[in-house]
A and B are shown apart, each in its own frame.
Chain A
Amino acid sequence: MQVPLSWYLIVAAALFCIGLYGALSRRNAIGILMGVELMLNAVNINLLAFWRHVEAAEGTLSGQVFAIIVITVAAAEAAVGLALVIAVYRNRRTVDVEDVDLMKL
């Protein structure tokens, strides 16, 4: 018997929530980025789990294609994000997001 779909989903949910916690509570910008990567991973797990349990019987691969696209986007976003962090660090000598509050009223 295969692993039930719900298990995968729960694992993905847990991973997502951990990633969310990281994004919400880390000071370091790079730390926040790592949390975001975790969340994206959780999403990928979801996608593939659904593909396997729902779609794979029909023989189409849209789940996998979607997951590939997500990975691509995650890579691009990580690249740009880290470039931003470096640029901010160069300007402000800090990676603490609490110090970057120019939008404060």
Chain B
Amino acid sequence: MTEFFFNLTWLIPLTPLAAFAIIVLWTNRNRLLSTWVAWIGIGLAWILGWIVFFLSWKNFPELTPPEFGHPVSLYAIPTGSTVLKLGFQVDTLTGLMLFMVPFVCLMIFIYSKGYMNYGTAEVDSRYSRFFAYISLFACGMLGLVVSDNFVTLLVFWEIMGLCSYLLIGFWFDKSYADPKRITPKQAGLKAFLTTRIGDVIMLAGILLLYSQTGTLTFREVFSEETLHTLATTYAFAGVPWATLVAILIFGGAVGKSAQFPLHVWLPDAMEGPTPVSALIHAATMVSAGVYLVARTFPLFTAVHGGTQLAVVAFIGAFTALFASTIAVAQNDIKRVLAYSTISQLGYMIAALGIGAYVAAVFHLIAHAFFKALLFLGSGSVIHGVEHGHHHSHQEHEGQETEFDANDMMNMGGLLRRMPRTGWTFVIGALALTGIFPWAGFWSKDEILADAWKSFTQGGEFGVSQGWSFFVWLLLTLAAFLTAFYTGRQIFLTFAGKPRTEAARHAPESVGSMTWPLIILAVFATFLGLFGMPWANRFFQLLGQEATIMGEHLSHGEFNPLVAGISTLVALAGWLIAWFVYGRKPLVEPVDPLAKTLGPVYTLLKNKYYVDEIYKAVVIQPVIRLAEACYAFDDKFVIDPIVDGVGRFGRWLSEWLKKAIDNPIVDGAVNGVGQVTAAFGEFMRATQTGNVQNYLLVAAVTVLLLLALFLVRG
């Protein structure tokens, strides 16, 4: 039976794809039908995914040796001297992803019905299209995790990139009065282009890998001999192929998982609908980068003590701290969560950088649940505030000024008005900040514990102690800030008294929106229990596999010192947040932090001006260059050539007409006529009309014949 279900794994990405096709081609007009088609598509994927996950969980000892997972080759395409094998595989990593991804997707799909205002007067005009897009996206993510080779991985990677663009810019006709505010259309483009940079680097890495190994199937690339060859042959001075390829592939993860310096697209991606933010930019697509590094982890560990892991660790840890500082000064409820996502992804990447493979994947799964919960909760809050705005305006009939429903300064006291949203949000916040016993505590703590162990006892895979300490320090600081800005967010949004009319009239959201919140909250609470250090199921699942990969992962023990420090730090963050925002809830929409931090606050609020720097240093020069090329081409090269060709053509045709057409062709045609006429004139003379002439001719002819007869005899 196991075999049977494993062989059906390829169906998992295909059911949402079928849903996409059906909605696009047939049920577009019918909103109810589209909703159900999408739900059934993801529902089937969820059921099958959970079956495969549980089977992989039960059978994992048999899954691993001697093959890498349970690969099934679907197509073998001959390409010159090698054969390109495409297929899918199920190993424990895939199984874990199949546990998380379709379930979270399903929750978000259900939530979307309410969010897109189904059944009300404000129902979104492109309702069905939304469900089509998120179905296609689900296909992309699910296909990514079941791929067994780089080619299909790339294909699904790009599908997700496309859907991200389409979904961020879903409300492409929205524009703002303030020209500095980025519109959804621009945000979509920004996301696509920025991740593109990462994708190109990743593609370079994959191509180099192919050129060195001649294969793109994971099983073959990550085999002992191939890895050994990659680690010992050098691309150029002192840099083995494995290191180079690993760093290049990591480039793709930097783009997709919004790590510094390619993080700029994620906050602006919040212009998309909130389910999109939850689905793509919290739970799934951004974790695809982490998944990529996890999947190609053997490459990263091929060279003992190599620079690739150091690069990964540095970028991860730096991003974690960097993003959390920015989150402190943001007023948009979704942007706080966006920077929080960037920061948490940094955690995962840093964990991978110091070799804490299991901890990274554990945090990935846990984060997906509680970040999705937080985003959906924020969407519910925004929804409520918007409704409140409409109702209050209908009462007052004032002028229509631009009201930002996302701005936390316009909220306050919503716990009383939206209890289910509020309490689930609080649970998510507790999970995020790593408070015992919520999920975030276990996963974050494991990362910190691994870092500390690496620092004190020497790292695995040759990770240096220096890096390990660096990682531990930055991540702990980031944990403090995480708790602070999350607390700030909770107190500003839910505590105190409503600061605006809109907040005063905000209603609780519909069932299709609140039920997913509740379900996700349950997961956020209890998921952590699977990763407790003394009974770490995750480690059992993944560690075994890692061992077969040739790695040796040591079991992370429970370190009370580290746990204590991290809990202390988190509590400190909450306390200070309460002190500033919760004790005396804000009445005026002015942040007290602005006064305290002064210019630092401005710097944080403007995200360290990274966007502006990029615009000046990268974008403007490229645009200038393009304009220069255009001018050069058009004025000096292309136009003269085209005009020249045209003029030459005309001259040629006229010359041909004079030289050939008139004398030769016309001459021939006219000549024929003239010859015929001349001949006719000549022959005309014989037609005299005089019978005697004819008779004479006949007589002469007879005479000649007779003479001939005479001569010849």
Which residues of A line the B interface, CB within 8 A?
20, 23-25, 32, 97-98, 100-105
Q: How far is the CB of B681 from chain A (nearest CB, A)?
A: 10
A105 near B695 with CB under 8 A, answer no
Q: How far is the CB of B45 from chain A (nearest CB, A)?
A: 97
From A32, A98, A104, A105, name the one whose CB has the most chain B CB atoms within 10 angstroms. Answer: A105
From B684, B688, B692, B695, name the one whose CB has the most chain A CB atoms within 10 angstroms. Answer: B692
Q: How far is the CB of A2 from chain B (nearest CB, A)?
A: 27
From B684, B687, B690, name the one whose CB has the most chain A CB atoms within 10 angstroms. Answer: B690
A98 near B695 with CB under 8 A, answer no
A101 near B690 with CB under 8 A, answer yes
Q: How far is the CB of B692 from chain A (nearest CB, A)?
A: 6
Q: Is B711 an interface residue (CB 8 A)?
A: no
Which chain B residue lies CB-closest to A102?
Answer: B689
Q: How far is the CA of A104 from the CA of B699 in the complex (A)?
A: 20
A105 near B696 with CB under 8 A, answer no
Which chain B residue lies CB-closest to A26?
Answer: B692
List CB contacts (< 8 Å) of B651-704 with chain A: 684, 687-692, 695-696, 699
Give the residues in chain B near A23, CB-CB below 8 Å.
Answer: 692, 695
Give the residues in chain A near B696, CB-CB below 8 Å.
Answer: 24
Q: How far is the CA of A25 from the CA of B696 in the complex (A)?
A: 9
Give the residues in chain B near A100, CB-CB below 8 Å.
Answer: 689
Q: How far is the CA of A101 from the CA of B691 in the complex (A)?
A: 8
Q: Which 3 A-B pairs have the closest CB atoms?
A: A104-B689, A101-B689, A105-B687
Q: How far is the CB of A70 from chain B (nearest CB, A)?
A: 19
Give the residues in chain B near A32, CB-CB below 8 Å.
Answer: 692
Q: How far is the CA of A101 from the CA of B688 in the complex (A)?
A: 7
A98 near B687 with CB under 8 A, answer no
Which chain A residue lies CB-closest to B700?
Answer: A24
B684 near A105 with CB under 8 A, answer yes
Give the residues in chain B near A105, CB-CB below 8 Å.
Answer: 684, 687, 689
Q: How far is the CA of A70 from the CA of B695 in the complex (A)?
A: 21
Q: How far is the CA of A104 from the CA of B684 in the complex (A)?
A: 9
Q: How far is the CB of A101 from chain B (nearest CB, A)?
A: 3
From B684, B689, B699, name the one whose CB has the most chain A CB atoms within 10 angstroms. Answer: B689
Q: How far is the CB of B709 from chain A (nearest CB, A)?
A: 15
Give the residues in chain B near A102, CB-CB below 8 Å.
Answer: 689
A103 near B687 with CB under 8 A, answer yes
B690 near A98 with CB under 8 A, answer yes
Q: How far is the CA of A24 from the CA of B699 in the complex (A)?
A: 9
Q: How far is the CB of A35 from chain B (nearest CB, A)?
A: 10
A97 near B690 with CB under 8 A, answer yes
Q: How far is the CA of A20 from the CA of B689 in the complex (A)?
A: 19
Q: How far is the CA of A104 from the CA of B690 in the complex (A)?
A: 7
Give the residues in chain A near B695, CB-CB below 8 Å.
Answer: 23-24
Which chain A residue lies CB-closest to B702?
Answer: A20
B691 near A97 with CB under 8 A, answer yes
Given A25-B692, A103-B687, 15 more A-B residue pairs with CB atoms under 8 Å apart are A20-B699, A23-B692, A24-B695, A97-B690, A98-B690, A101-B688, A101-B689, A101-B690, A102-B689, A103-B689, A104-B687, A104-B689, A104-B690, A105-B684, A105-B687
Q: How far is the CA of A100 from the CA of B689 in the complex (A)?
A: 8
Which chain B residue lies CB-closest to A101?
Answer: B689
B689 near A24 with CB under 8 A, answer no
A-B contact pairs, 27 of them (CB 8 A): A20-B699, A23-B692, A23-B695, A24-B692, A24-B695, A24-B696, A24-B699, A25-B692, A32-B692, A97-B690, A97-B691, A97-B692, A98-B690, A100-B689, A101-B688, A101-B689, A101-B690, A102-B689, A103-B687, A103-B689, A104-B687, A104-B688, A104-B689, A104-B690, A105-B684, A105-B687, A105-B689
Give the residues in chain B near A101, CB-CB below 8 Å.
Answer: 688-690
Q: How far is the CA of A101 from the CA of B692 in the complex (A)?
A: 11
Give the residues in chain B near A98, CB-CB below 8 Å.
Answer: 690
Give the residues in chain A near B690, CB-CB below 8 Å.
Answer: 97-98, 101, 104
Q: How far is the CB of B541 from chain A (nearest CB, A)?
A: 113
Q: How far is the CA of A19 from the CA of B689 in the complex (A)?
A: 22
Q: How far is the CA of A25 from the CA of B699 in the complex (A)?
A: 12
Q: How far is the CB of B434 from chain A (nearest CB, A)?
A: 120
Q: How far is the CA of A102 from the CA of B695 in the complex (A)?
A: 17
Which chain A residue lies CB-closest to B681?
Answer: A105
Which chain A residue lies CB-closest to B685?
Answer: A105
Q: How far is the CA of A23 from the CA of B692 in the complex (A)?
A: 7
Q: How far is the CB of B682 from chain A (nearest CB, A)?
A: 12
Q: How far is the CA of A32 from the CA of B690 in the complex (A)?
A: 13
Q: How far is the CB of B143 from chain A (nearest CB, A)?
A: 92
Q: How far is the CA of A33 from the CA of B288 in the complex (A)?
A: 122
Give the residues in chain A near B684, CB-CB below 8 Å.
Answer: 105
Q: How far is the CA of A71 from the CA of B551 in the complex (A)?
A: 137
Q: How far is the CA of A20 from the CA of B702 in the complex (A)?
A: 12
Which chain A residue lies CB-closest to B691?
Answer: A97
Which chain B residue lies CB-closest to A105?
Answer: B687
Give the residues in chain A near B699, CB-CB below 8 Å.
Answer: 20, 24
Q: How far is the CB of A77 from chain B (nearest CB, A)?
A: 15
Q: How far is the CB of B360 from chain A (nearest CB, A)?
A: 111
Which chain A residue lies CB-closest to B690?
Answer: A101
Q: How far is the CB of A85 from chain B (nearest CB, A)?
A: 13
Q: How far is the CA of A101 from the CA of B687 in the complex (A)?
A: 10
Give the residues in chain B near A104, CB-CB below 8 Å.
Answer: 687-690
Q: How far is the CA of A105 from the CA of B692 in the complex (A)?
A: 16
Give the residues in chain B near A20, CB-CB below 8 Å.
Answer: 699
Chain B 336-356, CB-CB to A under 8 Å as 1, else 0, gives: 000000000000000000000
Which chain B residue lies CB-closest to A20?
Answer: B699
Q: How far is the CB of B425 from chain A (nearest CB, A)?
A: 114
Q: How far is the CA of A100 from the CA of B688 in the complex (A)?
A: 10
From A24, A25, A97, A98, name the one whose CB has the most chain B CB atoms within 10 angstroms. Answer: A24
Give the residues in chain B near A25, CB-CB below 8 Å.
Answer: 692
Give the residues in chain A near B692, CB-CB below 8 Å.
Answer: 23-25, 32, 97
Q: How far is the CA of A25 from the CA of B471 in the complex (A)?
A: 137
Which chain A residue lies CB-closest to B688?
Answer: A104
Which chain B residue lies CB-closest to A103?
Answer: B689
Q: How far is the CB of B676 from chain A (nearest CB, A)?
A: 15
Q: How far is the CA of A20 from the CA of B699 in the complex (A)?
A: 8
List CB contacts (< 8 Å) of B547-572 with chain A: none
Q: How far is the CA of A98 from the CA of B684 in the complex (A)?
A: 17
Q: How far is the CA of A97 from the CA of B693 in the complex (A)?
A: 11
Give the residues in chain B near A97, CB-CB below 8 Å.
Answer: 690-692
List CB contacts (< 8 Å) of B595-615 with chain A: none
Q: How far is the CA of A103 from the CA of B688 in the complex (A)?
A: 7
Q: How far is the CA of A25 from the CA of B690 in the complex (A)?
A: 12
Give the residues in chain B near A103, CB-CB below 8 Å.
Answer: 687, 689
Q: How far is the CA of A73 from the CA of B18 in the complex (A)?
A: 106
Give the residues in chain A near B691, CB-CB below 8 Å.
Answer: 97
Q: How far is the CB of A27 from chain B (nearest CB, A)?
A: 9
Chain B 154-190, CB-CB to A under 8 Å as 1, else 0, gives: 0000000000000000000000000000000000000
Q: How far is the CA of A32 from the CA of B695 in the complex (A)?
A: 11
